[in-house]
Amino acid sequence: MPAPTNPFKAALREQRFQLGLWVALASPYAAEVVSNSGYDWLLIDGEHAPNDLPLLSAQFRAVTASASHPIVRLPVGDTALIKQILDVGVQTLLIPMVESAEQARELVRATRYPPHGIRGVGAALARASQFGRIADYLHTANDQICLLLQIESRAGLAAIDEIAALEGVDGLFIGPSDLAADMGYLGSPGHPDVRAAIVDAFARIDKAGKARGIMTLDLAQAREYRDLGADFMAIGTDVTSLVRATQELRQEFTDEQGHKPDKLESGY
């Protein structure tokens, strides 16, 4: 059985734009429904959605049956959690709230087998190696891990150059909502000062040769981020899409003409 490759990581290396969607309903069935919608990648959210490791694993398996690449966001960059989710078979991780090169360096080490890191060697028990059936998994896994780090604060912005310079960091993902809050603009990720910070961050990440990621629910803003050079971007979530669709359906039936759906409060 051949060792698994990471098509998302290959696409970033080849500078092919990757379009994604957030999966936060914490349901393998819902993840499977969304997975055939044509997105390049789906983010299974373990930070803000009510997920635990078995549930993340089940959603990951549901998405792997589709053409969309599953990415998992853990609630925190914990070495033990990283070890477990990689053993499930996840190849691409998004880690929130990274603020220093030291923190980023430890995250890289957590995703690599020795001597390049500290990932525990237990692949024979893991789905990642097809329970030992992939004979060369231990020798190929490091190269196929894609590590994406979220920059969501002024401290993170200040450390971008050092973080992006690290080997093993494949991309930096700007979190506009948390960044806006940290800058004093809670609930206003489109504020001109936040936009200026994102433009500067994108330029610095690109200079380091790393992929630039971001997320927004505003399509006009999404097109702007794409024009600014976003290499991978999410343009919605399953939760907000469900809320919007069900609300619009009711309003259409009750003939609430001229009434647009109420604007949803968004953390993105």
Active-site positions? Answer: 48
**Cα diameter, the chain:** 65
